[in-house]
Amino acid sequence: MTKRAYNFNAGPAALPLEVLERAQAEFVDFRNTGMSIMEMSHRGAVYESVHNEAQERLLSLLGNPKGYKVLFLQGGASTQFAMLPMNLLKEGQTASYVMTGSWAKKALSEAKLIGETQVAASSEADKYMKLPDVSNLSLLDRTAYVHLTSNETIEGTQFKSFPDTGSVPLIADMSSDIFCKPFDLNQFGMIYAGAQKNLGPSGITVVIAREELVSESPKTIPTMLRYSTHVDNNSLYNTPPSFSVYMVNEVLKWIEEQGGLAGIEQKNMKKAELLYNTIDSSGDFYRGCVDPADRSLMNVTFRLANEDLEKQFIKASEQEGFVGLKGHRSVGGLRASIYNAAPYESVKALTDFMSHFQKTNG
């Protein structure tokens, strides 16, 4: 048996062991070509079949909604923060942002470089420890799109439902919770996600968008930054990150084997429940950071009574083989990222460790 760490990294994060082992088995000789997938032309039939399979799987896991294009881009979700307004925010329009924390802020600050923006809702006054009410967004006339962050990776909040924005496209950064549960893509004009949290390794960003939003981009922006370039060329305008695309396809196969998004959701709920219950039943020894109604299934943030105790916790956890439990440097505290691929056994081991740590330090 391969020895595996109890991996709670926020991203890049744990991948399914089965996927890593399959990739290992075909690493040197992919489908009897005598080459690794990394060594072959992205214009060849073998690579293209993998590329197309991954695109088809993304849509099929969402129930094959009509009228959407899947793009494989580079530069991370962070490049989407700029590419989105460059393509979709026109002169005389306003882009509307829902402010929920660290990633939403970054998305907004890039949009501000490109055009007019508005904050449609914000929970800054609650230090982003809960989500703003988005049931009644007041949008300006000529709103180009509404942008939200479905899961704030650093603070640990997650939307359970999404606002109806009518004819204004709703666009979501789903980097840290894409495919953790079923959702209706038809509610969105576009979603995007860096792959390295829930879909595979780093190096590829998945964009799924309504055709009409991405088929015509302004000719004034550089070719590589136009969505239309990638639509017109099936995301093969330039060399794609072929190994990352292959890995995403394997992770998607694995999600199918888990019973699709509904199956994955069941597993994610079991893991999150176990961990939040351990926090809530600790008599205030562990304190969840986020309003219980807005807690994330993916990033569980919590604190101890003081920073010294938190340091001790991290040190002791590392000695026991736990990885990645330190909170983001901007907020401190502790965070366990329990994405799709984090096994239940890891979460169980963590809660056992937490109970033990409380007994010896409580």
Ligand X SMILES: *Cc1c(COP(=O)(O)O)cnc(C)c1O
What is the contact surface with ligand X in residues (CB under 6 A)?
Answer: 11, 76-78, 103, 149, 153, 173, 175-176, 194, 197
The count of other CB atoms within 10 Å of the CB of residue 67 is 10
Catalytically annotated residue among 69, 130, 173, 254: 173
Catalytically annotated residue among 69, 130, 181, 197: 197
Shortest Cβ 197–ligand X spacing (Å): 6
For every residue of 171-212, DSSP letters joined together read EEE-TTTTTSS---GGG-SEEEEETTTTTSSSS-EEEEEEHH
Say if residue 77 carries a ligand binding annotation: yes
Cα 196–Cα 204–Cα 260 angle in degrees, nearest 5: 60
Q: CB nearer to ligand X: give 85 or 354.
A: 85
Active site residue 103: yes
Shortest Cβ 202–ligand X spacing (Å): 7
Half-sphere exposure of 346 (CA within 13 A, CB side): 27
Query: What is the C-alpha to C-alpha distance for residues 16 and 3, in angstroms, rounded to an integer?
Result: 14
What pairs with residue 146 in β-bridges? Answer: 96, 170
Look up residue 30 and give its DSSP letter. Answer: G
Shortest Cβ 174–ligand X spacing (Å): 8
Say if residue 172 carries a ligand binding annotation: no
Query: What is the C-alpha to C-alpha distance for residues 172 and 179, in angstroms, rounded to an integer?
Result: 13
Q: CB nearer to ligand X: give 169 or 194.
A: 194
Shortest Cβ 12–ligand X spacing (Å): 9
Say if residue 41 carries a ligand binding annotation: no
Q: CB nearer to ligand X: give 57 or 335.
A: 335
Query: What is the C-alpha to C-alpha distance for residues 318 and 320, in angstroms, rounded to an integer?
Result: 5
Tokens of 44: 């060849």
Say if residue 329 carries a ligand binding annotation: no
Q: CB nearer to ligand X: give 103 or 254.
A: 103
Active site residue 173: yes
Say if residue 158 carries a ligand binding annotation: no
Which residues are known catalytic residues? 103, 173, 197
What are the binding residues for pyridoxal 5'-phosphate?
77-78, 103, 153, 173, 196, 238-239
What are the binding residues?
43, 77-78, 103, 153, 173, 196, 238-239
